[in-house]
């Protein structure tokens, strides 16, 4: 028997929530998905999450919603921070509201989801994610069948280091935050599945989800420019982990990138024009 878990990349604004609603249920049905993790920290127009965003993401088919550096972007979150289906980074200082991991039941299996925040180029004071996750894994490893880690981090090196640090100790480590899906999905030597970043679900013609002109102005002038969500068609990024029911280990990891044909056409068109 195979158990399939899907992790969906950072939801960007209302457009991203709408794209999730339009695509996720069909993908779950087509791929026979058993459990769904969605990163929702950018769902409130790029920064944070509202109660409506949260409920819409669950209605779209998510079993758990993870967060990141914009966890506290909207004060609305304090209304539902204790919902068992919401996970914020585990390495916030002790005493911060909410929880950094949860344990869920699916098809007779107990699945732990841990959310952690990187420290390289994030500019948020947090506890050491390596040590915090290590302690949690040691605490729960005998009471769960699988452990998935959403590592919300900027630096590729930090993500790769985390994956190797946890190799053989958790089922999978997947990166979020950069909004760009990487093509390095693999099974590490001691059986842990890994990908540096699963990408984003949001506006296609954008700078990681944000309006292109507003983003360019910031880079061109170095002056503050209010970010705003881009408009137009969307992409849908996710990763599917296929897990052996007997060993509880991932034997296959598959990327999903819906909406990429425009990019391939545009690239080929430009190559032909230059010739």
121, 154 Cβ separation under 8 angstroms: yes
Q: Give Cα separations from 230 to 24, 29, 96, 204 (angstroms).
A: 21, 29, 33, 8
Q: What angle do CA 16, 19, 21 make, to 5 degrees?
A: 110
Cβ neighbours of residue 208 under 8 Å, at least 6 residues apart?
Answer: 178, 179, 180, 200
Known active-site residue 70: yes
Say how many C-beta atoms besides its own lie within 10 A of residue 170's C-beta.
Answer: 25
**What is the rounded distance in angstroms from the CA atom of residue 111 to the CA atom of residue 4?**
12
Q: In what order do the strands lie in the sheet with 101-106?
A: 101-106, 109-117, 146-152, 172-176, 193-195, 186-187
Residue recorded with tokens 């052996």 = 244
Residue among 70, 152, 177, 179 flagged as catalytic: 70
Q: What angle do CA 214, 220, 225 make, to 5 degrees?
A: 35
Q: Is 112 helix (H, G, I), strand (E, B) or coil?
A: strand
Q: Which residues are catalytic?
A: 70
């Amino acid at each position: 028997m195979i158990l399939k878990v899907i992790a969906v990349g950072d939801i960007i604004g209302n457009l991203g929530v709408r794209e999730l609603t339009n695509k996720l249920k069909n993908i779950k049905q087509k791929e026979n998905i058993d459990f769904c993790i969605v990163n929702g920290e950018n769902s409130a127009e790029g920064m944070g999450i509202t109660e409506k965003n949260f409920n819409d993401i669950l209605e779209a088919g998510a079993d758990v919603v993870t967060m990141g550096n914009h966890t506290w972007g909207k004060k609305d979150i304090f209304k539902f921070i204790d919902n068992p289906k919401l996970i914020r980074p585990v390495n916030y200082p002790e005493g911060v509201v909410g929880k950094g991991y949860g344990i869920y039941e699916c098809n007779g299996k107990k699945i732990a989801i841990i959310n952690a925040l990187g420290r390289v180029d994030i500019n948020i004071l947090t506890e050491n994610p390596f040590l915090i996750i290590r302690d949690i894994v040691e605490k729960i490893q005998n009471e769960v069948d699988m452990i998935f880690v959403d590592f919300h981090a900027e630096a590729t090196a930090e993500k790769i280091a985390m994956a190797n640090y946890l190799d053989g100790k958790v089922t999978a480590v997947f990166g979020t935050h950069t909004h760009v899906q990487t093509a390095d999905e693999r099974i590490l030597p001691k059986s842990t599945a890994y990908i540096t970043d699963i990408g984003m679900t949001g506006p296609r013609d954008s700078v990681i989800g944000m309006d292109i002109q507003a983003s360019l102005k910031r880079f061109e002038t170095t002056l503050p420019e209010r970010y705003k969500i881009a408009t137009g068609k969307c992409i849908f990024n996710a990763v599917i982990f296929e897990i052996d029911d007997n060993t509880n280990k991932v034997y296959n990891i598959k990327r999903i990138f819906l909406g990429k044909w425009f990019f391939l056409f545009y690239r080929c068109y430009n190559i032909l024009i230059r010739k």
